[in-house]
């Protein structure tokens, strides 16, 4: 479900219950109340784009096709078929995405820095986003949205170089 974050949102955790997110001022973009259960905060384009709370249904969709784009598109289509309004957030203009090679470098750097323990494949799943979020929190990067941009890749590379030099 698409959500609106309050201006003072701390980005401390991407995994909480729907109730915990609501207690922090997160609201459903269409005014619908949150269900019970656990949720994952997801920023497919970083904090500058739309934000979503993912529920267990999202992960079921990903079992069929592991693409975030597929699962998100299907979930949004289901909401439209159900008569709910369309997406309210806007995708950032001029957004620069990392190449698969750059994503693999992010994973390698995060592994070297002790944040990532998964497969180095240049594909960002939840483990990669969680590791990026942990690095952002550790490095004081705000917003800690779990989204890798070219400037964050540079910052990770500098942190890894400093670690090697110690």
End-to-end CA distance of the chain: 44
Same domain, 76 and 113: no
Same domain, 69 and 111: no
pLDDT at 71: 92
- pLDDT (tens digit per residue) in 102-149: 999 999 999 999 999 999 999 999 999 999 999 999 999 999 999 999
CA distance 92 to 112: 31
- pLDDT (tens digit per residue) in 79-102: 889 888 777 778 888 888 899 999
Domain assignment present for residue 91? The answer is no
Domain assignment present for residue 40? The answer is yes
Query: The domain containing residue 45 runs over which residues?
Result: 2-81
Domain assignment present for residue 50? The answer is yes
Per-residue pLDDT band at 166 (split at 50, 70, 90)? low
Single residue among 81, 109, 129 that ends a domain in this structure = 81
Domain assignment present for residue 90? The answer is no
The enclosing domain of 153 has a CATH number of 1.10.101
pTM score, whole prediction: 0.90
* Mean pLDDT for the chain overall: 93
| Token pair in block for residue 34 | 């949150």
């Amino acid at each position: 479900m698409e959500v609106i974050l309050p201006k003072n949102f701390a980005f401390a955790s991407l995994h909480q219950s729907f109730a915990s997110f609501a207690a922090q001022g997160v609201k459903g973009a269409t005014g619908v109340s949150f269900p019970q259960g656990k949720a994952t905060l997801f920023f497919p384009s970083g904090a500058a784009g739309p934000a979503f709370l993912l529920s267990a249904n999202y992960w079921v969709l990903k079992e069929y096709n592991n693409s975030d784009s597929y699962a998100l598109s299907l979930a949004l289509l289901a909401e439209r078929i159900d008569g709910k309004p369309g997406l309210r957030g806007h995708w950032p203009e001029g957004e620069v995405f990392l190449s698969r090679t750059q994503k693999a470098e992010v994973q390698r750097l995060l592994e070297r820095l002790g944040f990532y323990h998964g497969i180095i494949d240049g594909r960002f799943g939840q483990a990669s986003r969680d590791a990026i979020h942990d690095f952002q929190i550790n490095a004081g990067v705000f917003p800690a949205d779990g989204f890798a941009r070219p400037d964050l890749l540079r910052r990770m590379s500098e942190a890894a170089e400093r670690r090697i030099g110690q």
